[in-house]
A = this chain, B = another copy of it.
Amino acid sequence: MSQKPPVAVVAAEVPARALKSNYPEPFAARVAGRDKRQLGEVFGLSNFGVNLTRLAPGAQSALRHWHGKQDEFVYALDGEATLITDTGETRLAPGMCAGFKAGTGDAHHIVNRSSADFVYLEIGDRTPGGGVGYPDDDLGLTIVDGRMRFTHKDGSPY
């Protein structure tokens, strides 16, 4: 960071990330109504990321997935949405939170089936490695030279 970061900011005033998704189609369309404001980056944080994320009606947080080595945590701020894990469906409302421990293999995502935006904080650490899995979709992810490369589950490219 070439400039000294601010001491504090209004989170909603941080510009949304320009990149909408890393997924290949048809999966990118599922998160098209998702905006991420990368709050941790504002302050130069590198050990974990904090996003203020908004899901428009119909949008998903991600494909349902698990991480091998990175913990994740979400805190609901505004609106309502459905958290889907191996356990089933759980309603999220403001003031509720959920955590997704690395390595359990229990996949999760959040789907906004309501008619209003759902806004939440999402936190994830940046422990390297460990892999990610998408049990519901024909998607695999490998890291090649530090870059994400998505494939079909049989390894063939999208």
* Residue A43, interface by CB 8 Å: yes
Complex Cα distance, B4 from A87, in Å, reads: 11
B11 touches A73 (CB 8 A): no
A90 touches B8 (CB 8 A): yes
A95 touches B47 (CB 8 A): no
* Residue A148, interface by CB 8 Å: no
**A1-23 at interface with B (beta carbon < 8 Å):** 5, 7-12
Which B residues lie within 8 Å of A121 (CB)? Answer: 75, 121
* Residue A101, interface by CB 8 Å: yes
| Copies of chain A in the complex | 2
Q: Would A48 and B45 be within 8 Å (CB), given that A8-B97, A95-B12, A123-B123 are in contact?
A: no
Which B residues lie within 8 Å of A90 (CB)? Answer: 7-8
Further contacts, 18 of them, CB under 8 A, given A43-B99, A46-B101: A5-B101, A7-B85, A7-B90, A8-B83, A8-B97, A9-B98, A10-B95, A10-B96, A11-B96, A12-B95, A39-B73, A39-B97, A42-B97, A43-B100, A44-B101, A45-B99, A75-B75, A75-B121
* Residue A40, interface by CB 8 Å: yes
B12 touches A87 (CB 8 A): no
B9 touches A48 (CB 8 A): no
